[in-house]
Amino acid sequence: MPHGHRSDGRADRGRAIAWNNHLMSNVPLAAPAGESDPTRRFDELDGLRALAMTAVFVYHFGLFSGPLLALGPSFGAAPTTWGSRVIPNLQMGVEVFFVLSGFLIYAPFARARAERQPGPALRHYAIRRALRIYPAYWLALSVLLVRDDIYVNGFVNYLKHASLTHLYWSDFGKVGTREPGMVVAWTLVVEVSFYVFVPMWAALARRMSVRLEVVVLAALAIVGLLVRWWAVDHRVWPWVHVLPSGFAALGPGMLMAIAMAHRTRWSSGFARLWRRRWPWHLAAIGVFVAMSRLAYGSVFFAILSEGAPLLWHKVLAPIFAIALVAPIVLGSGQGWRVGGRRLRLLANPVLVWIGTVSYGGYLWHHSLMYHHVDQDAVNDMSAFNVSLLMVGLFAFVLAVAAGSWYLVERPALRLANRLTRVGGAGAGGGGAPRS
């Protein structure tokens, strides 16, 4: 939909319907509509989540890859190198997922309120969210349990993991403990909790002014950062690691959704400045450099240190993610101009496809990596051979992810469309949404 225009014509109404249906169909790693061509920003955020998933993959692979961690010159007296400072910080890809979730899940509610329309039907919302996240997760959980790659103690604990509520009773983040279930599933607990929170918040927000809602959400984001800071050196209740901490990234995403819903108010010089992409890109580069200097791992232990380095990572990672997502969501949509041409590198078809299947890759990559790769053998390889192994393993993970998408996730989305009576005008076209 063109910037600054309301959906008055038939074509604009069609784009608005497609936009809302796409949002309602998406997993948290998805994309919003563009101003003149909705597919542009869909593609760019698909490309962004492809990079985010790749970053998480490299992070987990790098944790046991001494040759990669040892790459680059040493920094001072500490046994740290370029590799040991960059790789541990690639976990920030998770924060990109959370910022995208905050925007994508809340956007239909924020838009409905801005246009003084009823919000998404709760039944439809619940069906779409459940069918997007659970079928693929249940498949991965079941297969990994049968293969004994993971474990769950007893039927009650299995129900906790199957419902994605296990984090409320675990000691997540406690050093030296082995967590049952899928390691990456802690992020899905945050997602499911956020799914439950959003309709309740949307109902409450309708009783507030937009300005008050923005202030409260900004406060929740700040509280999330403070909770992260406190939890680094203090033992906290397990539930604190879910939404209170998650709001450091989810809250800014929700604020972006409100900004997009009220984009016709973007008229000031300041607004025109922050709608440009280059300030956000410079901010992202600056934060990443700061993270690599302040938060780092050891060549020998390959994990973020405790104390100050871990604290810096916890605080700066969501800020970096915001600076990545904001220029696509809030920016002008024009990209960079080189030689008279507009470059939208994140809309590359390969990245868009990886972003489309990235949820399955995220689910499977950790267990495939840690249970089918000889870590001792990896540490005896050269950095070049380890890099080749990593690329090959990533290709295998993408093949598994493609199977998850085409055999489980896309059929589940089609079922969600039928159950909620959304036809071919929905996201992805032809009743088969991309993500």
- Of 26, 12, 10, give the one whose Cα is nearest residue 426: 26
Angle, helix 93-114 to helix 308-329, in steps of 10 degrees: 40
- What is the helix (H) or strand (E) element at residue 417, kind and residue range? helix 410-419
User: For each of the chain's 435 residues, which pLDDT tens digit applies?
Assistant: 333 333 344 444 444 444 444 444 443 333 333 333 444 556 888 999 999 999 999 999 998 888 898 888 776 555 678 888 889 889 999 999 999 999 999 999 999 999 999 989 999 999 999 999 999 999 999 999 999 888 888 888 899 999 999 988 865 444 334 457 899 999 999 999 999 999 999 999 999 999 999 999 999 999 999 999 888 888 888 888 899 999 999 999 999 999 988 876 655 554 565 667 788 889 999 999 988 888 777 655 555 666 677 788 888 999 999 999 998 888 755 544 444 445 567 888 999 999 999 999 999 999 999 888 888 899 899 999 999 999 999 999 999 999 999 999 999 999 999 998 754 333 333 333 344
Specify the DSSP class assigned to residue 150.
Answer: S
Q: What is the pLDDT of residue 26?
A: 46
Alpha-carbon distance values, 361 to 64, 116, 140, 151 (Å): 19, 39, 10, 20
Strand (E) or helix (H) holding 151:
none
Q: What is the DSSP letter of 343?
A: E
Three-state secondary structure call for residue 304 = strand
Would the CA dihedral through 412, 415, 420, 424 be positive or negative?
A: positive
Cβ partners under 8 Å of residue 315, min gap 6: 225, 228, 229
Which phi and psi angles does 336 have, rounded to 5°?
-95, 145
The residues with which 74 forms a beta bridge, in sequence order, are 81
| Backbone dihedral angles phi then psi of residue 185, each to the nearest 5 degrees | -70, -15
Cβ-contact 164, 132 below 8 angstroms = no
Helices and strands counted in the chain (H then E): 18, 2
Locate 198 and state its tokens. Answer: 């959003």
Residue 140: C-alpha distances to residues 33, 149, 397 (Å): 31, 11, 13
DSSP one-letter code for 407: I
For the full predicted model, state whether its pTM sits above 0.75.
Answer: yes
Domain boundaries of the chain, sorted by first residue: 31-419
Do residues 32 and 80 touch, judged by C-beta distance below 8 A?
no
